[in-house]
Each structure stands twice: as C-alpha cells, then as structure tokens.
Amino acid sequence: MRVVLISALKVFMKTVLGPFHPHLENALIEDVRKHKSNNPFSPLLILVPSDSLRRRLKICFAAENRVNLLNVYILTFHQLYLRLSEKIQPGSGASLADDSILEEALSHWIKTGGSQTAGFLSVAEKAGGCGALWQTLRDLRDGGVNPASLRSALDEGLCDDRDKDKLAPLVDLYESFIESCRQWGIRDYADFVSSVRDSVRSSSFLNQFKRIFYYGFYDLTQVQLDVLHEVVRHYSATLYFPLLRGHPAWIFAERFYERYLQGWAAEEEHMIQPGSDACLLPLFSDQIPPREPQTANLRSCTIISCSGPRDEILTVAKEILRLNRHEAVAFAEIGVAARTLETYTDWIKEVFRDHRIPISTSAEEPLLQAPLAKAVILLLDLTGKDYLRSHFVQLVSSPFFNLSAVSPQGLAPRPDVWDVLTRRLGITKGTDEWTRLKRYLDRDFEFSRGEEGNGETRKVTVESGQVAILWRLFTELHDDLSGLPAEASWSEYVEWWRTLLQKYLDLEGAKALMAESPEQAVKTAIFETLTALSILDRIDSKVSLSQFVQTLRRWLERKSVPISDRNLDGVTVLDAMAARGSRFRTIFVLGLNEGLFPRTIREDAFLRDRTRRLMETVLGYKVGEKLAAFDEEKLLFTLIVGSATERLYCLYQRSDDTGRALEPSWYLAELERALSSTTTEITKPVIPRSIRAKKDVEPFRSSDFLLPEELAIRLSLEGEDPESLLNNFPSAKALYRPGSQLLDFLEDANGKLSPYDGVIGHLPEYWRDLCQHGVSPTALERYARCPFQFFAVNVLDLRPLERPEEQSVIDSSEIGKLIHAVLKTFFQELIDAGYFSGSSPSLQPEAMLEALARKVFRQYEAEKPVGYRIIWELLQEQMIALLREQIKRDLRELTQSRRRPVALEIELQGKLPHDWPLAAADLPILGAVDRIDLDETNAYYRVIDYKFTMRNKSSTSDNNLRLAAVRGEKLQPPIYLLLANEFARRQTIKPAAIESAFYYLAPRWDEGPLLQKTFSADDLEGSCGQSLRETISLLVRGIHDGLYFIHPGDACRNCEVAHVCRKNHLPTSWRAANDVLTQPYQEAVNKNIPKE
C-alpha cells in the first residue's frame, strides 16, 4: 500500500486554479514578469504536458505579450525527464522500448512462459490481442503497482472471488513479465520516469532555477506524480492547474486535484471563485439559464451541417478565406480541432493545399501511404508470396526501385512491357513459372491481340533485350533473398535487410536522420523502424526469416509521419488532446457526431473499473477507470469551446459520403442550451450536397473563395460562359470546351445519336484493313450482339488485362480451347495411323485419347495458370470423361456414315457471293474451321465446329441454327458453308452436297452432354437465305458506316467491356432505343424466318 507524506510540501509550493483563458495564462505571464522585474536574467523553468502547449506559451510570451524569455526554459515533461536522465546515464532516453517492442516482448513471453502464461495463449494468438493486454499492463506500470502488494491484497479479500479468479492470473503475468523485462534489459516509459525521480533532489539543472512553474496538466500517471512530488519537495514551485471548482464540465480535473494535489500547497489561489457569475459557459450543468442573457466574450457560434468529411473541410477552408479577407483574422489566429484527425488527414492535405492556406498541424498520416514505404512492403513480402507476379511487377515499377544495376547501356528498362509480357506468359508465382522467361532470352517474344484463329489478330513483339533485363533482375533478387538464412538474430537480419533496401530502394539517405522533406521523413521512419528491431535480440537470440518480416511489416503498418511542418505560421490544426490550452480568435471544431466526439468508450476487458477503483481507493495506486473518460470528453469539449475568443464553428455530418444518415453529437444540443443564456449569436446553416445548391449558402456564396474549376462549373450551371475566366488557365480551357459540348450531347435525351454515342462515321483505315484481311463470323456476331462492343473490342482492341495470379479456376473459354486441342491432336493421330483407311485395326482410340489428353494438359500447365491444383486435377478427369463419350459417339457415327476427317483446324478464306447486296458483295471472309468430314461415295462434305458450354440449359439459338443465323446470333454455320464450298471445289472430289454442324459438348444440358445441330446448304436459298443475306448486309453496312451505338440486352451480363459502356445512362439508352438509325438493326436482330 502506498503512503504519501505531504506535511513537508507546503513550504515550497503554491497552487493557482482557474480556466486556461485568460486567467491561468495571464497569471503565469504576470508571475514571470514579477520574477524578471529585478533581474532580467533570472533563471526560470516552465513545465508543460505537451509540445503543442509549449508552442502556445512561446507565442503567448514572445509574440503576444513581449515578455522577456532570457534564461527561461519552457520544456515538456518528457524533455525534463531526458535532461535529468542524461546526468544519470547518457543516452538512456533513446533506448526506451516503445509499445511495439513491449507488445512483441509480451507475445514472446506468453508463448514461452509455460504454465505461468498458459491462460493467455489464446489472447496472444488473436490479432491485436497482445496489444490490448499490454495496454492493461501499462496502466499497472504507470500506476506504480507493486505485484507482491497487489497479490497480498487479493489474498486479504480486496475483491470478491469472481474478480479474484480473473485478476490473479493477470497479476502473475504482470509480475513475471516485469521480471523478464528486467532480465532482458528492456525499459518501458514507467521505468524511465521512475529512474529520474531519485535524481531530482541533487539535480544541478533544477537547482539553477529561482522558480519552477508547472502549467496546464489536469491528469498525471502515478510515476509522473512521483516526480512532481520530488520537484515540489525540494524546489520552489508554482502549479497552474486548469480547474473551475463546482463546474460540472470540470469534474475530471476536479477529481484528480482533490485526490492527488489538494493539501500540497502552502497557498491556494482561485482565479475565479466557485459559484461566481464570472464562470464560463454552464456546459453540462443542470442549472436553469437566467432570464436575462449574460454578456459573453464569444461573439458568435455557428453550427454547420455537412455531408461527408470532404464537405466539412471544404466549408472550413472557404470560411477561413472569408475571415482572413473580410474580417482581418490572420491565419495564425485560427484553429481547427477534432477529437481525432485520422479521418480528415487526406482532405486536410488536399483542400488546404488547393486553397493556398498554410497550416501547422499535429496530424500524421500512415507511413504506408507513402509510395516508398509501399515498395518496402512489396520487397519484404516477395519471398513470402512466392514471387507473386503482380507484387513483383509493382515493385520493379516503383519510381524508387533501382533499375540501373541491371540495365545494359543503350536499352532503357520497360516495366510496362514486363507487365504485359508476364501476363501473356501466364506467370502467377513461383520460380518454376518465372523460368518461362528463359525461352525468350535469345529471341523476341511475339503474341497476338485480337480474335485468335479468325485472322483478326495484331502481332505485338517484346524485344529479347527486355526479357533479358527482367530475367536478370528476377534472378538477382531471387539470389539475394534466397541468400538470407532461414534463421538468424534480429540484428543480423536488420543489417541484411538494410543492405537490401539500400541496394534496391536507396534508403542510405535516411542515415542522416533529417526530415527536411516528406520523402526524407519517410526514409527516416523506415530506417528507424528497421533499426529498432535489433533490441529484440535481448528477448530471443534467434528468429525465423518469416517472423522477422512479419514483425517489421506490422511495425511499419503502425508507423505514421507528419503531414506538415509544425512550426509554420498558419492555421493551427490539432486533435482535441493537443488543442488543450490553446487560444484562437476563431476555432472550428470538426466531427461532432455520436461515436466521434464524444468518442466510444468501453471498459478494459482484462481489468474492470470496479477493480481499478479498489486499487486506487484502497491500495493508493492511481490506475484510472476507463469509464471516467466520459468526464474527460466533456472537459476536452469545454476546453476547445473556451479556446475561442470571438467565433466558434461546430461542424457535424448529417450523412457520410455514401448518403448514410449520421447522428449529431449530443454535445451540440448542450452547447446550444448553454449559449442560450448568453448574448452569443447562434446560427445553424446547412451545407447542401449539390454544387448548384451550395451557391445559396455561406461560405460558398461568394465566388471570391472558389477554386478556378469550381467557379467554372458554377458559371456553366448558371448558364454563363466561363471563357474569360478560363483564358487565364490554358490547360483547363482546353478541357472545358469539348467537355461542355460533350455534356450537352450526353444529357439530351430527345436528341439524335452523335459521335459520342458511337455514331462516328466511316473509318477508312479500319475498313481498308478489314477488306484486306477479311471479316470473321465471330466479328459479325459481336456486332449483331452490340455494335458498341464490336467497336471497343474489334476496332479499339480494348480487352480486360489478364490477371493470371488471381485465377483460381480455369474459365469455360479456356476449357473449350483445351477440348479443341485434344480433339485436333486425337483425330490427327488417327489420320496419321491410318485408322480411317482400315490399316490399323488394333488401334485403341480410347487409350490413345487419354494419353494425348494428358499430354495436352501437361503442355497447358507448363505455359498457363491452372488455379487450385485439386480443382485442376478434377477438371482433367471430367474433360477426359466427356471427351471419351464424345469420340465414342463420333467414331461410331463416322463409321456408320462412311465419312472420314479430311481437314482439322484449318483456316479458310473466301468472299461473300457477288450477287449479295451491295455492302456485303465480294467482301472477304475468313474463319477457322475445327473439322471437315468427307463421304467419298456421295461427295458429301460436313463442316464441324465444336461448341463447349457450361450453361445450365440450351437456348433457342442453340436449337434453331436457321433462326439464329437470320438474327445474326450464329453466323458461323452459313459462312463456314461458303468457305467450305470453296475448300471442296479445290479438292479432287467435287462437292455434291455440303452442310455445317455444331457439335455441342454441354455437360449441364438436360439433352446433353452431346448434341448435334445442322445447317444445310439449302438454308442459304429461298426466304431463309434472302433474310440471312439481308441481315449480314445490314451488319456489314453498319460497320462500314461506323454505327457503333449501344444495344443493351442479355449479352451485357458477360460483356468484357461493360465498365466502359453507358448503358445505365438513361439519356444514352433513350437515344439508342429511339433513333431512326437503330430501327433496322432492332428489327433485324428480332426477326423471324419468313414463310416460303
């Protein structure tokens, strides 16, 4: 049990109580002046709890009141502790273990502590578990709790059996962990503060001061209190404590003062007497406001409703500019505060920068938002993710990656080309797949873009030199990372990783430990985080590589860096804790929503408040109750409100960015109630979401505070021409004029189709290329499905990027290609073996099929990603079973019909007949035919196309090829007939009859899995043939005339360019549905076969 003797304290200490502004500040200033009046060089020490308050006092003394600061030290508590520790053990402050180190130490101790820590293993295994547990142990450490005393108190019945059973294991863990940290030589902050306490009395640094002033704290930990005890016992001190006794908003500070400070001082001065009419706003008071308004210093209070965090910051920026210009409020006289700045950091950076508002802020952003830090993470994860293609390419594409070491003279490295190359090679991860690059070290890599097998391909070449650079880079990285031992000490890994980061990402500059620029600050943070891991050698001499990487990654994720220089003369942006004691003419309070301010507060799961209360009241250890934070939230809000001398702005979000409704903080209603008893003017503007509506409210009404682009948009919405404004911004002007014209077209639902809808007119070069190489039935089918899809894929060559590393299973199109490859190989083997001529009667087709299929599958696996192995293995068996049934039926039918295959996977070219309608007549056509069979006896040819599908059921177009052809849905049968006819005429046996057939392999169809549908040459004649010619001619004419409008329908579900289509834009869809240009097309794709 702690016993504090206070009888000797009264000799040296005076206490001054009152609110920060103007009372405590003015009292401190007068006290310093008094001590300086006789001797300007009189040494004085002012101690404050935070750096932001330290900065505030410097401004207050030097800039606002011109107070002589010669030989006056203004230090934070931490700076004092460092000064004292340097006399005891130089450098000891720099060797402190932070929370990350202690959490790692706690995790290690729990996992290796045996029976002492077994009850906490489940906690350590959970994400964030050790972090939460360490916070509890840290509260005990800060409270100076002696584990032996606590255990004795438990044995004596400090709490009931239920709480004792839960607390006893925690006390054991606490005691054993403290002892382990001592053995490891790890010191936490409580150790550090406690170590300087004994040096206070003999400190030459403290002894030089005539007076020591403690200013601005309202709460301390037990170890900080112990240092304060020592200081005021041995030195003359004055305590300026922010407290308004009897005021309900100050309960948190009053409770601390009465329990830990009251009775210390020989003299206690109240700047405002309790119950005085001069009290601050009656916030959180149950008193009935007086009938007559009380005069208040606060001129106005504006409560602003916004939608989303961006609107909050945007409103603040505009109002700051207005205050600066029209109210002569300097930037340095304005403050912006929030309970936490975390959700506002990005918007603060962007909006204040765009509005040219200088800021000084305590806000920090996560280190991993920096591109350099992201590159470090990619390098760290490379081996753990088995050289995942996307991670590797992102790493080498980083502007911070050092490519010069692997680039030969005269050839610039091209990470963009490497990206395409690795996608096309189907590299997902693993060294084996990366070795595919070796095939192209001596020859260029060439691949096709476009419709493979239909002649509409474009050849793209990657130089072998680029492949060589990429391979050299991969092998060097692989060798360096593979050279790291599987197990080593923490400090050894630190040195190895420092070397690797310097080699590949140039982190050497961080050794200067100077943060003169944001990039240097990021380097410094990375370097310091890496170096800090060396201390873990004291905990565990050996660690695995994966554990080291995971730990470093976790520490980097928790690290943050400042977003601006704290010493700039500008608007001060602070979180609520840093804003304590600040003073501004105008302050903006952000995020006044429930759950944000006041924040959500919960009890500690490991140490409940009732136990904390007993430890404090019975044992004398200051272990704060978690739910007492509700009172601190009230105090923080009161301090922020009190920091404004003229204007107060309170902002809250009525909805978030998505439109979800949010609740305003109840503090706003309390503020209105308190202000209702004063002369303060209260206004409650609502900031609309829309740009058009914003112009009717302040601070958006005046165009003086709009950005150029905002003003241009406003003028446009109001029907005014922003030309004169944009003349001053050439780049914006170049975008605005065509952009405004585009919007006029896009939003006109009653207008005609325009080039912006895809009606772009004839494209001579594309048409010339089409006439030279020919058009495939697949291309015409795509145009029939949707002209815009044809334009995107066939004209612009837009296609989704391959993402081989994301492929978990093989899609149906790839399965179809595999089945085609197996069938081609199988029938070719039969032809070569003389199976159809009867010269190989002993041949076993089924056994041959399986062997050939396995070979095709192995080859595919070596060149392309196959996803999950077990699914791939199962898929192979399913394909073989399907193919076995197909060839059994196919061979039986060939034998019965006396046909034999005469061509496999053959590319044919020809022309549409001369007598067809003008647009299509003599147009070159081409196609890749899967198989052509011949019945020599009857001179009968059959053109076969395999169709594999995973759809659950067949469609009308699958079952009726004539109707599908007339509608443009399936044009392969008629065009293949025309091409096969040309093929047959060149053969020895001239065709007497010819037909086209689809061989469906559909394992999910009720009528499947095998189904044949035919299209005869007779279908090219009569009314069906005439209708077919009209359809094809219409499609060709649309391509020729450049009519690429959208056609929403069933095909949209699987459209590969859906994300660039405007089918969901109602005016566009309306024009496409009602324009006269689309009517013939609509009729064609929905028509039926005319009767003969």
Would you say residue 278 has pLDDT above 60? no
Which region among 530-539, 707-716, 936-945, 1022-1031 has the lowest average model confidence (pLDDT)?
707-716
DSSP for 1058-1079 reads: GGG--TT-HHHHHHHHH-GGGH
Question: What gap in Å lies between CA 656 and CA 311, rounded to an integer?
Answer: 10
Give me the phi and psi of 898, to 5 degrees please. Answer: 60, 35
- Between these two residues, 251 and 6, which has the higher pLDDT value? 251
Token reading at 125: 């295994």
Q: What is the pLDDT of residues 833-842, one digit of tens each?
A: 888 887 777 7
Q: pLDDT class for 90, splitting at 50, 70, 90?
A: low
What is the pTM for the complete model shown?
0.85
Residue 276, by phi and psi: left (phi above 0), alpha (psi -120 to 50) or beta?
beta
Parallel, antiparallel or unpaired: strands 584-590 and 334-338: parallel
pLDDT in tens, 316-335: 999 999 999 999 999 999 99
> pLDDT-derived band of residue 46, with 50, 70 and 90 as boundaries?
very high
In this structure, are strands 993-1001 and 1010-1016 parallel, antiparallel, or unpaired? antiparallel
Architecture of domain 300-363+564-694: 3-Layer(aba) Sandwich (3.40)
Give 1055-1074 pLDDT, tens digit per residue: 889 889 999 999 999 999 99
Min mean pLDDT across 212-216, 409-413, 548-552, 856-860 is at 409-413
pLDDT tens digits along 743-802: 888 888 888 898 999 999 999 999 999 999 899 999 999 999 999 999 999 999 888 888
What's the sign of the alpha-carbon dihedral 962, 964, 966, 971? negative
Q: Looking at per-residue confidence, does 867 or 759 come out higher?
A: 759
pLDDT surpasses 50 at 5: no
Q: Is there a shared CATH topology between the 9-93+194-270 domain and the 300-363+564-694 domain?
A: yes
Q: Please answer whether residues 1015 and 965 qualify as being in contact, where contact means their C-beta atoms are separated by less than 8 angstroms.
A: yes
Q: Tell me the mean pLDDT in the region 729-746.
A: 80
Tell me the domain boundaries of the chain. Answer: 9-93+194-270, 97-186, 300-363+564-694, 707-746
Question: Cβ atoms within 10 A of the Cβ of 599, count?
Answer: 16
Taking 80 as the threshold, does the pLDDT of residue 101 lie above it? yes
DSSP secondary structure of 720-772: ---HHHHTT-HHHHHHHHHHHHHHHHHT-TTS---GGGTB----HHHHHHHHH
CATH 3.30.390.10 is the classification of domain 9-93+194-270: no
Per-residue pLDDT for 13 more than 70?
A: yes
For residue 510, name the pLDDT band (cuts at 50, 70, 90): very low
Q: What is the pLDDT of residues 636-683, one digit of tens each?
A: 999 999 999 999 999 999 999 888 999 999 999 999 999 988 888 999
Residues 352-375: tens digit of each pLDDT: 999 999 999 888 999 999 999 999
Question: Hey, how many other C-beta atoms are within 10 angstroms of the C-beta on 1008?
Answer: 15
CA gap 542, 490 in Å, rounded? 7
Whether pLDDT at 260 is above 70: yes
d(CA 599, CA 340): 9
Residue 427, pLDDT > 80, answer: yes
More confident position, 487 or 843: 487
pLDDT the model gives residue 588:
97
**Residue 713 — very low, low, confident or very high, per pLDDT cuts 50/70/90?**
confident
Q: In whole angstroms, what is the distance from residue 561 CA to residue 518 CA?
A: 8
The pLDDT of residue 514 is above 60? no
CB crowding 121-133: b at 16 or more within 10 Å, else e: eebbeeeebbbeb
Strands 993-1001 and 940-948: parallel
Taking only the tens place, the pLDDT of each residue in 572-623 is: 999 999 999 999 999 999 999 999 999 999 998 899 999 889 888 888 889 9
Please give the structure tokens belonging to residue 698: 């302040």
**Rounded mean pLDDT of the chain?**
88
Task: Tell me what the mean pLDDT of segment 983-1008 comes to.
Answer: 88
pLDDT at 905: 92
Residues in the chain: 1092
Residue 832 CB coordination number (10 Å): 9
Note whether 320 and 334 are within 8 A (CB): yes
